[in-house]
Structure formats: C-alpha cells, structure tokens
Structure 1
Amino acid sequence: MPDGDRIALFLGLGLALFSLTTAAAQEAVVGAWSGPLKVGGTELRIVFHIEQGEDGLTATMDSPDQGATGIPVSRVTVTGDSVTLAVDRIGGVYTGALADGDTKIDGQWTQGGQSFPLTLTPTAEADTGPPPRPQHPEPPYPYAADSVTFRNEAASLELAGTLTRPEGEGPHPAVVLVSGSGPQDRNSEVANHRLFHVLADHLTRQGIAVLRYDERGVGASEGTFEGATSEDSSGDAAAAVRFLRSHSDVDPGAVGLVGMSEGGLVAPMVHTRFEPVDFLVLMAGPSVPGHEILVEQTARIAAAQGAPSGAVDSIRAVQRRTLEGVATAADSAAAAEHLRTVLEDEGVGADRVRSQIEQATDPWFRFFVGYDPAPALRQVDVPVLALYGSKDLQVPAGQNVGPMRAALQASPSDDATVRVLDGLNHLFQPAETGLPSEYAQIDTTMAPTALETISAWIRARTR
C-alpha cells in the first residue's frame, strides 16, 4: 500500500473514532443539568435543559432562584468531552468538560468579564422549579378580588389590574400600588417573589382596598413599555387613582399611593403634578438625583461582593464621571459621545461600549439619572410615611434618609414619618448581605414588620 493511502486510511479511522466519541458525548449531555453558582457570597441555582433536535443539540437555561426560566441558549457545542453553552441574550457562556463517566460537567460560567466555577450534575426536571414562597396568598380569599380595567385618557391606552376589596360594608380607604423600575406586572414579581400580591393581600385583610395593575405594555395592559419614562408612569398611576375614587366601594376622601423603589419617586410626582391624593407611602423611595443613586448603588454592591476598598473608590469615581455627564448632556447624541469617551478611556471593549450607549440613551434612563425628586417632596402637603431597609444596597438608607427628612421637613405636610427598618433589604426582606443575588434565596417575600408598619400607619389616618 502506498504511504499516502496508509495515511489517508489512518486519518479516516481517526475521524470515524472522533465522530463516534462526539456522538456519544452529545447523547450523554441530553437532559437537565444543574449546579450552584457562587456570586457575592450567595448561591444561585443554574439549570440547563439540553435536547436532541433534528438539526442538532438545543438548550434553554433557567435561574430558578431569580425567577428566570426558558432563556434560549444560542449555541450548544460538544466536541469530544468539551461542552460549550453560549447564552447571547445575557452575554454569558459556559465552558466545561464531561467527567467521572459523564456524571458531571466541570467548568466555568463567564459573564460581564468575570468567571465563576460551575459544576453541573444531572437532575430530575421536577427538582428544577422555583423555591417555595410561603407568603404567597392562595384562594379562597376572605375578600373580593376583581379583574378591572381603566383608561389613561391622556395616553389613549387601557390598563388592566386587580382590585381587592375588604369584606363588610364600605366605603373603604384605598391605595394604588406603584411598582419599581423595569416592566412589572400587577404582582410586581421579582426573584419569584410576588411582592404586590403579598402586600395587597395584607392590606385588604386590614380593611384597605387595593388596586394593583400591569404596567403599560405588560400583561393585559395596552401600550408600549419601551421608551416610557417615570413621567409616563405617573400619568398611568394618576388614572388608577381616578378610577379608585369613582368606585362605589371606595371612600373618595381616603385614597393614597404606595410606591416602591422607582414607585417611591413616582408617587410624589403623581400627587404634585397629576392627581392629588390623601396620603403617600414611599418604600425605598429615592430622595436624591438618579445619577447619585446609581453611583452609590454600584459601589456598595461591589463592596458587598468583596471588592477591595481601592477598587470600590475607583468604581465610584468612574461611575460618577460617567453618569453626571449623561445626566447633564443636552441630548442623546451628547450623552452617547460623553459615554463613549469615558468608556474608551477606561479600555472598555467596543461591544460593551455599544450596549452601554444604548442603555444610557434610553428615554427612561436619561430621565431617571437627571431627575431630582427633592422639589416634588418639598411640595407634598399630605401625610407621608417613608420607609427604608438598613441593608438596602439599591436605594441605600445612608444616602437617602437625610435628604428625605430634610425635604419633608421643608414641605407643607405636618405629618411626615421617615423610618429605617433594621435588617431589611431593598425588597423589605430580612437579609444577610443585602445583595440583589440574595433576594431569591430568602423565603420571606416581605417582612411582617414592614407589612404591619404600613397597614397600621394607613389605618390610623383613614379611620
């Protein structure tokens, strides 16, 4: 046999063996694989569901502790014992290798320029669901719960929600719940916690009617969420107030707003600019401009994740330079140019520069970073309860309590209470670190002390 033919034969045999090995590995990875991802002192379960399709392997990813399911995996590559799962939607990639007789995959999860060890093992599909949430209400309820719709005439859209009404003869005091940033449904679900479902259930059992609704473009509500600002949200909340006041089971002289996070910024805006209400409850409401909130939020989260003090100072300085420029830019083009200059000076890659510019020129973001809530707070002329969690890293109490007290003391209101609830995080859960990655690990959706503080305060002012 000529040497060239022998080489071709050996090469052909090698390719055949490689193909068989890869095929066996592809078969071995089909199924559900899960493992703990350690981030900032907490563990998050990661689950990959890998299937064999007609055109090859496909997969989805879950982060059940964060309430994220069905995230499409862009590419599944199995070569020999090497496994790669690219998740373009969240900018992440998992690279690993089959080990111990294909009973585990040892590897690394990489996202945002950081890598974390992640070992996956086979798991039953039944074991990949969300953790229990013991506070989530279950029917039958001791009150009426009606699906309702109402119109924001100024925006020409209809919003949908749930109105819960206490047992017994009305009219009842009532509140509209105003949710935080991002597209939120009527339950304001975060990390598998239905915050507003729990809050509405508690308040209604205490004799207070509650309207919670899907934000525009979310759930059953009309409109488009993308491009909407806090001012747009204020118009929607004002329409909800008008709907409540017209309801026969609601006392029109005892209607208030309960705003959480960005909702705590929106609520005073509603009262002072769109539709006066009878009282305000602000839960983790910002009292300083948005760019200051984001600077401190980023720095404190980095510190809680273990970043050294020098790195935290550097993060704070870069964030301040970046966000102050965006906040004061004359228009989106100027904001984009400023951001490009700062990020390129810091050596940030082109893809990340593009994504950051896209975020910074979004109408919501530009409004938020430039808006100062203090002037609206100084105009409030009704009772106000402002609550903060001592372990909140997103709207830190240390940054916001003082300015909130100062603004309310300068307001016409003669009934303003500002309280810090010890040991609670941004969602008003009992927390260890306060990190957002911890939210999903906590069984409690909202601490009873927060629920009872709110309901007792409202009852005392609406008897």
Structure 2
Amino acid sequence: MKTVAALIIIFILSIVNIFSQEISGNWSGKTKRGDKEITFVFNIKQENATYLTTMSVPTFRVSGIKPSTTTFANGKLTIDGSNVGMYYEGIFNNETQQFEGTYKEGGIEMVLNLKKGSVKIEESRRPQEPVKPYPYYEEEVVFENAKAKISLAGTLTLPSENGKFPVAILISGSGPQDRDESFMGHKPFLVLADHLTRQGIGVLRFDDRGQGESTGDFGNATTEDFSKDVLSAITYLKTRNDVDIKNIGLIGHSEGGIIAPLAANNSKDVAFMVLLASTGISGAELSVMQSKTLRQFPVKDEVTYEKNTRKAIAIVTSNKSETEIKNELTTHYNNFIRPILMSLNVPEEKVNLFIYSQLKTSLQPWSRYFLQYNPADEIEKLQIPVLSLNGSKDSQVNAKINQEGIRNALIKGGNKDYKIIELENLNHFFQECETGKLDEYRKIEQTFSPTALKEISNWILKRI
C-alpha cells in the first residue's frame, strides 16, 4: 500500500508540474504540406495572468504575426489567431516534453508538435534583395493613428540624410503583412523600396496594424480602416524636414490598390498614385471570379456553382443580424458546398473544417465591407496622376477585366494624366513566370521584375 500511495503521489505531482509549467519562451516545430516542410516558431510571453504570442514562419520568411489570444490550462495550449486566419491547439506530453496538436489555417489542418526552443534556420536571401550597407539613408520610424489609438512601425528610406525628397508610401495587399510584404520566401516591398530609393525617391513602408512592431487589431479592421492608417502615414511625413511634402505619393499592391484611392480622396496631400495588381470591379464580382479561378476542387455545374456563390454573398451583405446571417449561411454552405466535397470523397471532418473556415472568414468585418466596396467609385474621383500595372498571367486579379474597370473610372472622372499597362508574363507579384498560379510564387527566384520596377520609377520621376 505504501508503494501504491507513493506512486499516486508521484503521479499527482507530475500532473501538477505539467499544468503549472512555465511556457514562456520560444516553441517550435515542423510540419508538412504536400512535399513542403514548414517550420513554425511561437514566442510566448506571460504578462500578469495572460499570455501573448508572436508567430513566425521561417520557411516563408514571415514574422511578427500576432494571434489574438493564447491560453494554457490543464496542459492544453490554445493559440487563437482568428484575427489572422490561424488556430493551434496542442496537449503537453510529459514524456516527450512537447505539445502535440494541430495547426489550422483556412480549410487546411496539419499535425504540428512544438518543442521548447528555437530551430536553427539557414537564412536564405533572394537574389534581388539588397545587402547592407545601403547607399542611402534608412531609419526605423513609429507614427500614430490617434483615432484608432494604435502605433504603426515602419522603415523610411531616403536617398540621403540631407535634403528634401519625394516619398512614396507602400500599401500592402490583403491579409496580415509586415513592412516588406513578406510572402512565400520573398520580400517584394524591400526590393521595391530599395530600387526606388536608389533612383532618388524616398519610401515609407510599415507593418500592418497588429503585425510586426505595429499595435492594433488586424482581424476587426476593414479596408476603410487601413486607409486611415495610410492617412496617418501622410500626416507623419508632413512633420519631417527631409520630405518634400508636395510630392508624397501612394503605391498600393493588390488590396493596397483599393486602399490608396480611399486614402487619396480624404487627403489634399497625395501627389501621385501607382496601382499594382489592383482591382477595378466590386469586391462581390471579384469574389465570384476568384471562387472559380482559385477553387481547389472541381464542380460539375459551373452555372449552379456561381449562382450559389452569389447567394452566399447576398446573405453576407444583407442587413440582417449577425446571428441570422450566420444561421442562413451555415444552412446554405451545408446545402451547397458539403455535397460537392462529399462527392469527391473528402473526409467529413475536413468538410466540417472547410465550412467552419468559410463561415469565420465570411463573417469578418473586412469581408462584409470588401464585398460591398467598388474601388471604381473612388478611382473615378482621382484627379492626380495614376499609373496602373497588372501582370498578364495574374491568376488572382484578371488584368484585362480589372484594368477596363480602372480605365473606365478614370475616363468617367475626367482624369487627364493616367497610364495603364498590362505587363506580359508577370504574375500577381510581378514575377516573370510560367503559369501565374499561386504555388509557383515560392519556386521563382526573382522577386520583382526589373521591367516593372523601371516602369514605376520612370513614371514617378517624370511627375515629381
């Protein structure tokens, strides 16, 4: 009996040890998506009774991602990043000294076990990325969006430490982005900023709210909110003695290209605008197009599929309460998407995960705003010089359809200085490519086509 009692005490003490474990620090692990091994690192800090997590994905050279909540109780670690589209849940295994769980992002679920400590990653640098020391001035800056009560951190590069220079503000695409717009192992904004600054054009690029060194809540922000962050950047630049305040411009990529007109139409201090892979049609129409071109599963009847996609959008954008919308949308997805996926022998748990992910995304403030926003309405009001560049092989934003919308809006508004170019064989990120499909981005060594870079800098230099 004494032996049994002793074992019970040891067992109880081991449980207490697990549940009261100090989890602050780095936790890392590797998982696989197809043939690609992906490394995750979660830096967890405890502040009073709460935990704060910053996530990095070294494989894709992405860092500074801030999930909204982290909880640890009874050996269970939950990192809820619904604000950035991810979720992790793991149970601590005392024998292996690791959290064993799953990572979810979108409709994807992967086994991910985390061990204490960081993993050593060989730093890879794409050929176009600049190497310090740079032949220009660089400064880390912080500015405030006072109304939103957030701080935005970024990098300002200027041709020299002395003088007054034109400055372009870079505006990133959809999803949580850092100042370099890091994606699939590339840093397009770093390459663009380096090129422009070497040509005599200053650049301000900054972490999206709630990302990197910036504060705020990304998950509850809309395109309009992001435009106010850009206005804060303009206000900040106007306080500096080394900025030519008559030549502040905006360069927006993808969603950044529909944020830029919103900001410019609420400011008298924007001198020029460059739209990169921007849209010129409503968010609803773009979503219908992308639901067909980016869909990862086949359907037997495209007409019916589009009809049901439009019905989902109508439900999301209705004036009903969030509860009513959620209930209607759940029913619709179960009637519409579930039969398609089940007919393809997709396991039920994966179908449930996909529908759950679709629901969460659809109900976000960003989605509801985006679906009802037509950038052509704002582009029409622009009376400043505008350059629009799109790649002919962009699989996310069709060049011809969207540039037609941009062109018609500028003509309708009577803009006298605009240039619209479709660049051959370039994808959504302006890489020279073969197919333009998403899975090709990380395989291409080039980050930003030199042709596109020259088009941007040459056009700006003629207007400042």
TM-score, normalising length from structure 1? 0.73
> Which one-letter code corresponds to 2:177 in the other structure?
Q
2:177 and 2:207 in contact (8 A); partners too: yes
Aligned partner of 2:405 in structure 1 is: 403
Shift of residue 308, structure 1, vs aligned partner: 6.2
Aligned partner of 2:147 in structure 1 is: 154
Q: Which runs of 5+ in 2 are unaligned?
A: 1-28, 42-55, 66-86, 94-99, 112-118, 339-350
Shift of residue 261, structure 1, vs aligned partner: 0.7
Shift of residue 67, structure 1, vs aligned partner: 4.5
> Which one-letter code corresponds to 2:392 in the other structure?
S
Tell me the number of residue pairs that the alignment of Structure 1 and Structure 2 aligns: 376
Aligned partner of 1:382 in structure 2 is: 384
Q: Which runs of 5+ in 1 are unaligned?
A: 1-31, 39-43, 50-61, 78-84, 95-124
> Which one-letter code corresponds to 2:151 in the other structure?
E
Cα 1:359–1:48 change in 2 (3 A) is closer
1:241 and 1:275 in contact (8 A); partners too: no
Cα 1:347–1:443 change in 2 (3 A) is closer
Instruction: Give distance in 2, aligned partners of 1:338 and 1:204.
Output: 51
2:33 and 2:110 in contact (8 A); partners too: no
| SS of the residue 1:134 aligns to | coil
1:178 and 1:258 in contact (8 A); partners too: yes
Aligned partner of 2:102 in structure 1 is: 87
> Which one-letter code corresponds to 2:428 in the other structure?
H
306, 317, 322: which one aligns with 1:327: 317
Shift of residue 34, structure 1, vs aligned partner: 8.8
1:161 and 1:186 in contact (8 A); partners too: yes
Aligned partner of 2:439 in structure 1 is: 437
Aligned partner of 2:82 in structure 1 is: none
Instruction: Give distance in 2, aligned partners of 1:428 and 1:75.
Output: 42
> Which one-letter code corresponds to 2:160 in the other structure?
E
Aligned partner of 2:455 in structure 1 is: 453
Cα 1:295–1:443 change in 2 (3 A) is same
Instruction: Give distance in 2, aligned partners of 1:278 and 1:460.
Output: 12
| SS of the residue 2:144 aligns to | strand
173, 179, 188: which one aligns with 1:195: 188
Higher helix fraction: Structure 1 or Structure 2? 1
> Which one-letter code corresponds to 2:260 in the other structure?
A
Structure 1 residues 355-414: Cα deviation after superposition (integer angstroms, max 9, x where no partner): 322211111111111111111111001000011111111111132111111001112421
Aligned partner of 1:278 in structure 2 is: 271
Cα 1:88–1:162 change in 2 (3 A) is closer
In the TM superposition, 1:20-419 aligns within 5 A as 37=34, 44-45=36-37, 66-67=60-61, 74=90, 87-90=102-105, 91-93=108-110, 132-167=125-160, 170-274=163-267, 276-302=269-295, 310=300, 315-346=305-336, 348=338, 349-419=351-421
> Which one-letter code corresponds to 2:34 in the other structure?
L
1:189 and 1:195 in contact (8 A); partners too: yes
Comparing 316-325 with 268-277, greater Cα deviation is found at 316-325
Cα RMSD (Å) of the superposition? 3.2
Q: Which has the larger radius of gyration?
A: 1
2:39 and 2:59 in contact (8 A); partners too: no
Shift of residue 461, structure 1, vs aligned partner: 0.3
| SS of the residue 1:385 aligns to | strand
| SS of the residue 1:410 aligns to | helix
> Which one-letter code corresponds to 1:320 in the other structure?
R
Cα 1:226–1:351 change in 2 (3 A) is same
> Which one-letter code corresponds to 1:211 in the other structure?
L
Shift of residue 93, structure 1, vs aligned partner: 4.6
| SS of the residue 1:257 aligns to | strand
Shift of residue 156, structure 1, vs aligned partner: 2.3
| SS of the residue 1:273 aligns to | coil
| SS of the residue 1:226 aligns to | coil
Aligned partner of 1:82 in structure 2 is: none
Cα 1:92–1:154 change in 2 (3 A) is closer
Aligned partner of 2:53 in structure 1 is: none
Instruction: Give distance in 1, aligned partners of 2:299 and 2:360.
Output: 30
1:326 and 1:335 in contact (8 A); partners too: yes
Cα 1:136–1:350 change in 2 (3 A) is same
Structure 1 residues 26-51: Cα deviation after superposition (integer angstroms, max 9, x where no partner): xxxxxx9998836xxxxx455799xx
2:246 and 2:269 in contact (8 A); partners too: no
Cα 1:36–1:156 change in 2 (3 A) is closer
| SS of the residue 1:346 aligns to | helix
2:31 and 2:110 in contact (8 A); partners too: no
